[in-house]
Amino acid sequence: MKTTYINRYTSIDDNDNISINKDLLNIEVQNASDKKIGVMIIGIGGNNGSTFTAGLLAYKKKLQWENKDGIHGVEFLGSLAEFGSVNIGYKKNKPYTKLIKDMVPIIKPEDIVIGGWDICSDDLYTACKNNKVIDTDLLNQLKEDLCGIIPLKSIYYEKFIAKNQKSRVNNIKKYYNKNADILDIREDIKNFKEEHDLDNVIVLWSGSTECCTKTYDNIDDLFVDVYNDSDYISPSIIFAIAAITSECIFINTSPQNTISPAIIQLAKEHNTFVGGSDLKSGQTKLKSVLIDYLTSAGLRPLSIVSYNHLGNRDGMNLDETPQFQSKEITKRNVIDDVIDENPTIFNGNKPDHTVVIKYIPSVGDSKRAIDEYFTELFLNGKNILSIYNLCEDSLLAVPIILDIIIFSEFFSRVRINGEKFNSNLSLMSYFFKAPIEDEKFPTINAFFKQLYAIKNFVKICNGLPIDDFTNLHLR
């Protein structure tokens, strides 16, 4: 798939003079491999990992199941790759759309092979049963297959996840040193590729939220700490290094600061990609929409208070302060770019922004979220938006995990003027609470900017002009 695109953009100098610039971009999307794509999940027995694995297996087998609402089949509702559409033009003066998957060569869900690691030895049937996300009828149909999926032994450094997780730790590698752990995980990846005859593997962290650690600005400092067995080196950093040095894409779907500048630089050196951090699924995705709406309407948000409680293992892990602080950072930072782009409204201030998460075991995976947006109006009037949101946490997350796999693999095949995308895959920011920062690319959290970045790129790949809602051609 090849096209040429003239990219027009403006730049502003120190004297606020505006220049209009043009770049000629030759865009090529290389063909996907005929082989399947491997995905290795760290924390495969957790709510997200086990639900994704079971859901994908049910999709491949075209299973149906029955519950009190009737008979159902597997649809990845919430997936941009499966249901996202693009306006490709106008037919009789009305928008005409096509699905993204019909416009660019992305892999299909059935092309994915899953494996992974977990600190708990439970087979995937036992894990799914304990996690209580999947309906019993469907789970029973998958029992034989899921019983055969046993997680690989993982690594465990006690200080990084909550102490309340320790009772689950029965499936860990013998510890020698951190460099040995990297080599051991690289061997797991190599064996997985050979066993399933794969060209490519994506390694995805879906483990418990770690406490934040030291941020590494350069590769030398990173590897000095690895070889010195530093306590600053977390399990997720070990997996990131092992994946990248195996030339695999590494994705962090948890909030800790795994992907530092050193990790991005390492990915560049090994000609691969990283993505993250922390899935943007429910409450925070809505926040990225609402803060954009309020400021775009010329209103001034004064405070945002977000409360939620849940009873799954993620909630249990976040019940301890160091792990909660990692999550709090990604949930709070999602509004920063909107504030920065609207300095007149905010007048140098930020809204009061508080995030509260409580572990309530009885609600399980069914998360309750309550948000209050307190906003200033004309003549010092006030407006309060109070939102109550009940959602199945893992069932929102799984289609996003599918999208991350599909789009990261797709973007890895794109060449612009013969070069790959930057290693941090900035176009993937739509899927994350805390998109990775890079010296070249501004961080964008606003929902519709992120969404249309992907949709417009799909149009560009097809030689079509990007979205223009002025409709001047209809005059």
Active site residues: 278, 327, 367, 433
Q: Strands, E, within 57-169: which ranges?
A: 64-67, 70-73, 85-91, 94-99, 112-118, 152-153
Taking alpha carbons only, the member of 121, 86, 36, 50 closest to residue 312 is: 50
Q: Rounded to 10 degrees, what is the CA torsion of 262, 264, 267, 273?
A: 160
Mapping DSSP to helix (H, G, I), strand (E, B) and coil, where does residue 241 land?
helix
Q: What is the DSSP letter of 246?
A: T
> In one letter, which amino acid is 97?
T
Query: 304: part of which helix (H) or strand (E)?
Result: strand 300-310
Spatial distance between the Cα atoms of 192 and 137, rounded to a whole number of angstroms: 31
Answer whether the bond into residue 423 is a cis peptide, omega within 30°: no
Ordered DSSP codes for 341-409: T-HHHHTT---EEEEEEEE-GGGTTEEEEEEEEEEE-GGG-EEEEEEEEEEEHHHHHHHHHHHHHHHHH
Residue 310 — φ and ψ, nearest 5°? -155, 165
Taking alpha carbons only, the member of 182, 250, 191, 245 closest to residue 424 is: 250
> In one letter, which amino acid is 72?
H
Residue 2 — φ and ψ, nearest 5°? -135, 145
